[in-house]
Amino acid sequence: MLESEFMRLAFATGAVVGLLAPAVGFFLVQRNMSLVGDGVGHTAFAGVAAGYLLGVSPVLTALVAAVAGAVGIEWLRSRHRAAGDQALALLFYTGLAAGVVLASSAGALDVDLFSFLFGSILTVTRGDLVLVAVLGVAGLVVIGLLYRALAAVVIDEEGARVAGVPVAALNVLVAGLAGVTIGLSMQIVGILLIAALMVLPVIAAGRVAWSMSSSVLLSMGIGLASVFAGLTLAYYADLPPGGAIVLLAAAAFVVTSILEAARSRA
Amino acid sequence: MPVAVELSGVGFAYRPGQPVLTGVGLTIEEGEFVAVAGPNGGGKTTLVRLALGLARPTAGSVLLFGEPAHRFSRRATLGYVAQRAQVGTEGPVKVREVVSAGRLAQGGLFGPLRRRDRAIVDEAIADVGLAELADTRLADLSGGQQQRAFIAKAFAAEPSLLVLDEPTAGVDAESQEALARLLGRLHDDRGVTTLYVSHEFGAVEGIVERLVLVRGGIVFDGPPEALPSAWHDPSHSHARE
């Protein structure tokens, strides 16, 4: 399998995505914002379509659209311009509609677009890998450096605000990281399923984690294992990688739920 | 005594023509332990938000340790215990992690806690009687124990002002009184200016030196024993007695 260059590229990109998506997703899930990734994914779809229309890299335009969408949700939410779910709905439907209109205008409603929606291991190029590695590792470093601050906001947002912690800036940072993660992950997992990789490993880890830090690390471990196993399954069974990866992450939830039940009976 | 909080002629309205507070004058000296009580919707939480500089008054002025509250420069020295419904008690977080979050503003945003910060966190956990449970998940504790963890978080900031907003909501009467005794002891030991905000003040009547009742403005301000007898809450036996 790894003799093929496209699989080596897919695994290298997947390694970064498998670690980054749950690490960012953790801070969304703990703030009851699990579905933000879905909304941002749909703006990324509009970004891909805009890329086709403009004749520039769809990955870059999707990245820009995803970051703008994520920061937009956070702005609407924090300014109380819309309730969290309303802000999400606004972005979700506007992104999808804009994507369809732009893709249609570009004459790109075809198989290429389909590969962005559900992921394709054939689409990752060396240039993509460099982009994913640089931005992905930078994202992980930022999370590592600011972990205590991000955790403090999750634990008690109002208390952090009273103490002068820059809560608004940290929330925008998490939203921006969510946008970057989605932009980077769409080729491997697909726009429609990337949010699942940000959420399912976190929920699975939460069943057996004994602390917040262990939950983050377990989430990243489950994310990485799901991506590697999912890519392998996709290669040998000729499946879309996004579906295989997300089903394995869901299976991890079943396993950790059984472990939790067994532990509580012991 | 130096003044910790000073509100002069304060009014506040979320919408024009619908004032939540009018003509509020309140001075709290450093070291005082004050309960702010009143009915839901009476404006007590708004009053506290004004005092902490989280909202700006539509009339009057608010000073915090002599500085305009909304521009207060030493925010890291403010300890705040939010209502339980507003804090993350369901996630996989252990007591030590909750209390460590209280050191963030002092220790800086980046990197791990320093040794001195960790020692202060351990001391705060021990002070609220949770040393044995420091590595237990918050979700596995009772409501009263969870609230003690958040009080330890506030004390980990080594605060000059501690504000507790409805700290006993959803906690049974016995736990409320245990919490009140703990706060009384910590106040005696540390001398921190403390504002205890709650619609139920029975548990702290015997602990606080001063009771402020808020209903659109201040309708009572004095020692709890001066309160007309019909206003006392008979369900509490007064924690200090």
pLDDT higher for A117 or B96? B96
Are the C-beta atoms of B70 and B52 separated by less than 8 Å?
A: no
Q: Which two three-digit tokens encode residue B192?
A: 């921190």
Report the percent of chain A where pLDDT is more than 70: 97
Most confident region among A134-148, A158-172, B76-90 by mean pLDDT: A134-148
Question: Which residues in chain A are contacts of B154 at CB distance < 8 A?
Answer: 159
Question: How close is the nearest chain A Cα to the Cα of B104, in Å?
Answer: 7
Closest by alpha carbon to B153, among B222, B201, B95, B210? B95
Question: What is the DSSP-derived secondary structure letter of residue B163?
Answer: E
Condensed to tens digits (0 to 9), the pLDDT of residues B189-229 reads: 888 899 998 877 777 777 888 999 888 888 888 888 877 66
Using the beta-carbon criterion (under 8 Å), do B91 and A148 form an inter-chain contact?
no
Question: Which residues in chain B have Cβ-Cβ distances shorter than 8 Å to A159?
Answer: 80-82, 87, 101-102, 150, 153-154
**A contact residues 7-26, partner B, Cβ 8 Å cutoff:** none
Q: What is the DSSP string of B45-113?
A: HHHHHHHTTSS--SEEEEEETTEEGGG-S-GGGEEEE--GGGS--SSS-BHHHHHHHTTHHHH-SSSSP
List, in sequence order, every residue forming a beta bridge with B18; answer none if it has no partner.
B15
Closest of B190, B153, B185, B194 to residue B51, by C-alpha: B194
Q: Does residue A158 sit at the B interface (CB-CB below 8 Å)?
A: yes
> Is B171's pLDDT higher than 80?
no
Residue-level pLDDT at B232: 59
Q: Tell me the two tokens of residue A54.
A: 């403009």
Q: Which is higher by pLDDT, A142 or A2?
A: A142
**Cα B214 to Cα A111, A136, B31, distances in angstroms:** 66, 52, 21
Q: Each residue of A25-74: pLDDT tens digit?
A: 999 898 877 788 888 888 888 898 898 888 888 888 988 998 898 888 88
Give the pLDDT of residue A104: 85
- Interface test mutation site (partner B, options A146, A155, A222, A263, max chain B beta carbons within 10 A): A155
* Cβ pair A148:B88 closer than 8 A: no
A205 touches chain B (CB under 8 A): yes
Contacts of A149 in chain B (CB under 8 A): 104, 109-110
The tokens of A243 are what? 């579906």
Is it the case that residue B241 has pLDDT exceeding 50?
no
Please name the member of B88, B92, B102 whose beta carbon is closest to the beta carbon of A209. B92
Residue A228 has pLDDT above 90, yes or no: yes
- Cα(B225)–Cα(B93) distance, integer angstroms: 41
CA-based torsion, B103, B106, B107, B110: positive or negative: positive
Q: CB contact, 8 Å: A212 with chain B?
A: yes
Global pTM value: 0.84
> What ipTM does this complex have?
0.82
φ, ψ dihedrals at A191, nearest 5°: -60, -40
